[in-house]
Amino acid sequence: NAGVTQTPKFQVLKTGQSMTLQCAQDMNHEYMSWYRQDPGMGLRLIHYSVGAGITDQGEVPNGYNVSRSTTEDFPLRLLSAAPSQTSVYFCASTATGKNTEAFFGQGTRLTVV
């Protein structure tokens, strides 16, 4: 049982490049979320999904796109990377029902130069 898997772990992009951060979970959770964490700060919600085909914006969605075609996968796309998107990105998945703890991946450290 791998839990939440994020790839890649590290990435350096040039300004204006695009890329996709991958997130996969094997717990059959309905809910998935993307957060970013800047130095010395707590996590901020970018986008979330409450099920396949359903996504919505969080606190800081600008510059990012998401889709959810399967329960397992929730990729985050950076359309045109900017230095302000340099951050650590975390994906999380959460079950519905009574046990609503979120499981987080180990993060992707992204640097945009």
Partner 1 sequence: DAKTTQPPSMDCAEGRAANLPCNHSTISGNEYVYWYRQIHSQGPQYIIHGLKNNETNEMASLIITEDRKSSTLILPHATLRDTAVYYCIVRVPVRSYQLTFGKGTKLSVIP
Site residues (CB under 8 A) for partner 1?
4, 31-33, 35, 37, 40-45, 48-50, 58, 88, 90, 92, 94, 96, 98, 100-107
- Name 65's bridge partners: 77
Residue reference for tokens 């772990």 = 9
- Least distance between partner 1 and beta carbon 85 (Å): 17
d(CA 52, CA 74): 9
Which C-beta is closer to partner 1: that of 11 or that of 17?
11
- Which residue, 3 or 16, has its beta carbon nearer to partner 1? 3
Contact by Cβ (8 Å): 31, 95:
yes
- We find the least distance from the C-beta atom of residue 87 to partner 1, in angstroms, to be 12
- Select from 20, 35, 17 the least CA-distant residue to 81: 17
Instruction: Give the nearest distance from C-beta 19 to partner 1 in angstroms.
Output: 20
